[in-house]
Amino acid sequence: MSLHLKQDLDEARVSLLKLSGMVEDMIALAVKSLMLRQGILASDVVRRDSEVDRAEVRIEEDCLKMLALHQPVAADLRRVTTMMKVNNDLERMADLACNIAQRADSLCPHPEFPIPNGINEMATMVTRMVRASLDAFVSNDSAMARSVIVMDDPLDAKNVQVIGVLAESIQKDPSQVEAALHAFSASRHLEQIGDLAVSIAEDVIYMVDGVIIRHRQAS
């Protein structure tokens, strides 16, 4: 690896870490706005999305320049392409955080509707998955990446549990169906963020081990 490529990779990695921090903050704020039904917090999440979009474009441009200028091969090529995929997945996570915030805003007129605590538990699980997937990327740790994939089933199970609670709420009081659907959407968006964390983990395994495990179990 040339010195210039190493410098460019290091700079891109720092930019990705900053972006991941922004996205984690957005997810946490979106869930907080949902649980507390605070429209102001929800608006703040949406406002931050444009900053994430700009950062995502800059990182993609930097990666494309690396491909054009350095023409990396083998492990270096895997690292650059993984950076591009991680960058895209983080931007999609930010979009999903905005969707959660919008659901929070829609729930503000329904202060009496009980939001399942399982949504908050899902947020904790998702944050752990996102953080671990990025830590695995930074440390070139495929074992840690595989641990993220293992976390996905418990998250899916928690999502099913939340859906069950919401369905029961509708059965008890059909007038709550609109609020329940907003909460269901928020739960689904959290589950999708978890899927994106798994996608990052799978790309890390490819970057480190050169093995594509998508569509099969990471054993």
pLDDT band at 215 (very low <50, low <70, confident <90, very high): low
pLDDT in tens, 88-117: 999 999 999 999 999 999 999 999 999 999
Q: Tokens 């480190």: give the residue.
A: 208
Report pLDDT for 40. Answer: 93
Average pLDDT over residues 1-27: 93
Indicate whether 218 pLDDT > 80: no
Indicate whether 155 pLDDT > 90: yes
Report pLDDT for 216. Answer: 62
Q: How far apart are CA 214 and CA 81, in angstroms?
A: 16
Report pLDDT for 94. Answer: 98
Q: How far apart are CA 168 and CA 181, in angstroms?
A: 12
Listed by start position, the domains of the chain span 3-209
Q: How far apart are CA 19 and CA 87, in angstroms?
A: 8
- Number of CB atoms found within 10 A of residue 139's CB: 13
pLDDT in tens, 118-147: 999 999 999 999 999 999 999 999 999 999
Tell me which architecture the domain covering 3-209 has in CATH.
Up-down Bundle (1.20)
Q: How far apart are CA 180 and CA 191, in angstroms?
A: 17
Average pLDDT over residues 166-186: 96
For the chain, what is the mean pLDDT? 95
Average pLDDT over residues 22-36: 95
Q: How far apart are CA 64 and CA 217, in angstroms?
A: 31
pLDDT band at 217 (very low <50, low <70, confident <90, very high): low
- Number of CB atoms found within 10 A of residue 153's CB: 9
Query: Are 134 and 27 in contact, with CB atoms under 8 Å apart?
Result: no
- In the chain, the percentage of residues whose pLDDT exceeds 70 is 97
Task: Tell me the pTM.
Answer: 0.94
CA-nearest of 89, 136, 88, 115 to 30 is 115
End-to-end C-alpha distance for the chain, whole angstroms: 31
Q: How far apart are CA 152 and CA 29, in angstroms?
A: 22
Average pLDDT over residues 184-191: 98
Amino acid present at 2: S
Query: Are 87 and 16 in contact, with CB atoms under 8 Å apart?
Result: yes
Report pLDDT for 214. Answer: 79
Cα-to-chain-centroid distance, residue 215: 19
Cα-to-chain-centroid distance, residue 76: 25
pLDDT in tens, 194-214: 999 999 999 999 999 999 987
